[in-house]
Amino acid sequence: MTRLTNKTAIVTGGASGIGRATTLRFVQEGAAVAIWDINEEKGEAFAAELRGQGYSVQFYHVNTSDLQAVTEAAEAVQAAFGSIHILINNAGITRDASFKKMTPEQWHAVLDVNLTGVFNCTKAVYPYMEAQQYGRIVTASSVVGLYGNFGQTNYAATKAGVIAMTKVWAREFGRKGITANAVAPGFIHTEMTDNIPEKVLDAMREKAPAGRLGTPEEVAHVYVFLASDEAAFINGAVISVDGGLTL
């Protein structure tokens, strides 16, 4: 039996990058998946592709920074699948600039998605998990949230913030049968890194003892584990997936 059989999962930002890899791993492990993403074209195409392979997948066009939209999407998932067992808070954006040059618009854009969006999604899904006395909430942080990074005041603040929220939720939700954990990826090769100059990518590789960038699938494997019953006694943890970058 696969690890997520009879489970329903929501994967935010599930149409590309780490979210896409996570969606694929989850359906391979037996889960029904609701993809929440702002990119309707990619999301619909990916969901259709997976349904064509026999998997149970639906796409929902969701802006996670909009609480009403998120709440309505959660209601739709509950109605369509009958339950929500797993929430993967994966959606995130960057608007990098040094603090001196960072605009209020850049600051708020990242906070709205990476921090408020995580709050919104968890707020919308929690009542269903509480009612069934079972849930797995896994949120994407970053090594930047643990150690900071030049030019990412906004991003680092959000990724540190979701760690703090995760620890609070672990304390508040634990007796309801709900765990909350965070994953802190290091340098991962995704579509976002395709536009980074090779010289910069080489520097990233050199920083990690593993000598390479990580893959979306390597992060997805950790999401699967934390979402499974094998991780039932892991609560409030922050797991780095960084090739030893932060040693």
Positions marked catalytic: 155
- What is the rounded distance in angstroms from the CA atom of residue 20 to the CA atom of residue 18? 5
Identify the helix (H) or strand (E) that includes residue 51.
helix 40-52
Contacts of residue 75, Cβ cutoff 8 Å, sequence gap at least 6: none
CA quadruple 21, 60, 75, 115: dihedral sign? positive
Residue 123 region by backbone torsions, left for phi larger than 0, else alpha for psi between -120 and 50, else beta: alpha
- Do the beta carbons of residue 223 and residue 183 sit within 8 Å? yes
